[in-house]
């Protein structure tokens, strides 16, 4: 597989990256919103905001919630409702929570639909949340199993999107700027999938956008139809266009960690933010060591109004 990655990036534009901040557990789900950058510091039970100089502040704080429950509170994908509140997944509680700036409350319970931890999420302009799930208990050694995408409608009703087929580890998920396509990765099949999306949020016509040269994790979209995908363990974050050509590659030194997810931000959304972690399986070790980091790279194409 390493040879496949090397071959895939051989003719790609090489873009240098630089470290912006360090000192986190396992970082995920980078987001740019209203002129600021955020990410989930998963095993520290927080979502952090990161300034241009790399300094951080707590944006969403679930530490008290974690202390009050027997289930590890790991915050995953998040996005903003039209009224400014924030939805965020709690992976092992199998809940979508809502943050009003002060407290976390349950927005939707997905436990009846999720056999394993829920994962990433994208929220559309109407407040509809599409949620990916692992589909099996990865952290306790269960075998890979397929599962459905889930949706939380604006009225907070929930359902499984079984009509578009199941996925082997759906992970990063995004919506195009015009709202007409939803894109997600099927991590354990190493491919990027695309679905057409109607004005009412209905999904249809699922097909493969591109094969990925290595297991894909978090993604983001740009204004020329490119999909940036982090590929933890490969040493690269790559830009893939429909059909599978890798046009750009950002190398992340493996001694610094695994690139887990990426997001386009900055004033023109031409800064690629990459979350880089070293320990994903041992929550306590990840917290204690605090070796994870955020890297940035300057890219050619803007993220525009693509979500997240």
Domain containing 155 — which CATH number? 2.120.10.30
**12 within domain boundaries:** yes
Predicted confidence at residue 159, as pLDDT, reads 97
pLDDT in tens, 213-233: 999 999 999 999 999 999 999
Q: To the nearest whole number, what is the mean pLDDT of the chain?
A: 96
- Which helix (H) or strand (E) is 67 found in, with range? helix 63-67
**303 within domain boundaries:** no
In this structure, what token pair is assigned to residue 276?
């880089």
**305 within domain boundaries:** no
Q: How many domains does the chain have?
A: 1
Asked if 30 and 40 count as a contact pair (C-beta separation under 8 A), the reply is no
**124 within domain boundaries:** yes
Predicted confidence at residue 2, as pLDDT, reads 61
pLDDT in tens, the chain (308 residues): 567 888 999 999 999 999 999 999 999 999 999 999 999 999 999 999 999 999 999 999 999 999 999 999 999 999 999 999 999 999 999 999 999 999 999 999 999 999 999 999 999 999 999 999 988 777 777 788 899 999 999 999 999 999 999 999 999 999 999 999 999 999 999 999 999 999 999 999 999 999 999 999 999 999 999 999 999 999 999 999 999 999 999 999 999 999 999 999 999 999 999 999 999 889 999 999 999 999 999 999 999 999 99
Cβ contacts of 287 within 8 Å, gap of 6 or more:
25, 43, 44
What is the domain range of residue 25?
A: 2-298
Residue 78 Rama label (left phi>0; alpha psi -120 to 50; beta): beta
**131 within domain boundaries:** yes
In this structure, what token pair is assigned to residue 255?
């001694």
pLDDT in tens, 252-308: 999 999 999 999 999 999 999 999 999 988 999 999 999 999 999 999 999 999 999
Identify any residues that bridge with 106 across adjacent strands, giving them in sequence order: 97
What is the rounded distance in angstroms from the CA atom of residue 120 to the CA atom of residue 167? 14
Predicted confidence at residue 1, as pLDDT, reads 58
Predicted confidence at residue 217, as pLDDT, reads 97
Predicted confidence at residue 4, as pLDDT, reads 83
Task: Write out the DSSP string of 153-181.
Answer: -TTS-EEE-GGG--BSSEEEEEE-TTSSE
**255 within domain boundaries:** yes
Residue 52: which of 34, 40, 39, 37 has the closest Cα?
37
In this structure, what token pair is assigned to residue 260?
């887990």
Predicted confidence at residue 167, as pLDDT, reads 97
Instruction: Output phi, psi for 12, to 5 deg.
Output: -80, 155
Residue for token pair 């931890």: 117
Identify any residues that bridge with 104 across adjacent strands, giving them in sequence order: 99
Chain center to CA of 303 = 15
**276 within domain boundaries:** yes
**304 within domain boundaries:** no
Asked if 248 and 13 count as a contact pair (C-beta separation under 8 A), the reply is yes
């Amino acid at each position: 597989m390493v040879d496949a990655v090397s071959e895939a990036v051989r003719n790609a534009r090489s873009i240098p990256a630089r470290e912006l901040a360090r000192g986190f557990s396992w970082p995920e789900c980078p987001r740019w919103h209203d002129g600021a950058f955020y990410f989930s510091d998963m095993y520290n039970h927080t979502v952090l905001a990161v300034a241009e100089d790399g300094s951080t502040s707590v944006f969403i704080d679930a530490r008290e919630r974690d202390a009050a429950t027997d289930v590890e509170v790991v915050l995953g994908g998040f996005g903003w409702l039209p009224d400014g509140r924030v939805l965020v997944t709690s992976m092992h509680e199998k809940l979508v929570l809502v943050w009003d700036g002060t407290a976390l409350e349950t927005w939707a319970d997905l436990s009846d639909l999720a056999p394993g931890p829920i994962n990433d999420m994208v929220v559309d302009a109407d407040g509809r949340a599409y949620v990916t799930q692992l589909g099996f208990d990865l952290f306790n050694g269960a075998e890979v199993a397929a599962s459905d995408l889930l949706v939380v409608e604006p009225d907070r009703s929930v359902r499984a999107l079984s009509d578009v087929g199941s996925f082997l580890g759906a992970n990063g998920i995004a919506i195009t700027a015009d709202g007409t396509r939803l894109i997600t990765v099927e991590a354990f099949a190493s491919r990027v999938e695309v679905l057409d999306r109607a004005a009412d949020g209905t999904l249809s016509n699922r097909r493969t956008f591109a094969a990925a040269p290595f297991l894909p994790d978090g993604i983001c979209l740009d204004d020329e139809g490119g999909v940036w995908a982090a590929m933890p363990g490969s040493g690269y974050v790559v830009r893939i266009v429909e059909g599978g050509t890798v046009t750009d590659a950002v190398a992340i030194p493996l001694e610094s960690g695994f690139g887990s997810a990426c997001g386009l931000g900055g004033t023109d959304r031409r800064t690629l933010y990459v979350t880089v972690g070293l320990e994903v399986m041992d929550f306590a070790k990840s917290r204690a060591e605090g070796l994870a980091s955020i890297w940035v790279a300057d890219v050619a194409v803007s993220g525009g109004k693509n979500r997240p």
